[in-house]
Amino acid sequence: MRKLAVVFITLFLFSIHAFSQQQKFVFKKDLVWKDGPPSLPKGCKIAMLEGDMKDGPFTLRLMFPPNYKLPPHFHPAMEHVTVLEGTLYLGVGEVFDKKKTTAMNPGDFEMMPVQHPHFSYTKGRVIIQVHAIAPWAVTYVNEKDDPRK
């Protein structure tokens, strides 16, 4: 009987969470672009679509200018990235090496595992969409690459 009560309470709490969420439309024309977070090199812009990077799921867009370089870094959670505009050159590893990157074009998707070092650069303007679960952070492989320092 006690197990049954726990199951019902759990289902009740999940249903409250599910029903408390509302459908949300975000239109490209309504995006609010701000300067990127201090954890990323200067020059990028960010637009939050839903959630925040402190708690729970979130979706954001990042706009990188031409010739943008993001040194090797990793995150505390899986990162899901879809390229929306331009070509993002993405590499995996602890050393930045343009020769070891893969060109990702509009519509391409990647999933980066937890704490998996990666890096990227652009030649032209690039917009990506990122989906992840917070808390979110950027940890640089080499501390000297961290723009917060």
Considering only CA atoms, which of 109, 91, 87 is closest in space to residue 99? 91
The amino acid that residue 36 corresponds to is G
Q: How confident is the model at residue 10 (pLDDT cuts 50, 70, 90)?
A: very low
CA atoms 48, 50, 52, 57: torsion sign: negative
Tell me the CATH architecture of domain 26-145: Sandwich (2.60)
Res. 11: pLDDT tops 50: no
Residues 140, 146 contacting (CB under 8 angstroms) = yes
Q: How confident is the model at residue 49 (pLDDT cuts 50, 70, 90)?
A: very high
Please name the residues in contact with 69: beta carbons below 8 A apart, sequence gap of 6 or more.
41, 96, 119, 120, 121
Per-residue confidence (pLDDT) for residue 37, from 0 to 100 = 95
Q: What is the pLDDT of residues 92-121, one digit of tens each?
A: 999 999 999 999 999 999 999 999 999 999
Considering only CA atoms, which of 81, 76, 72 is closest in space to residue 140? 72
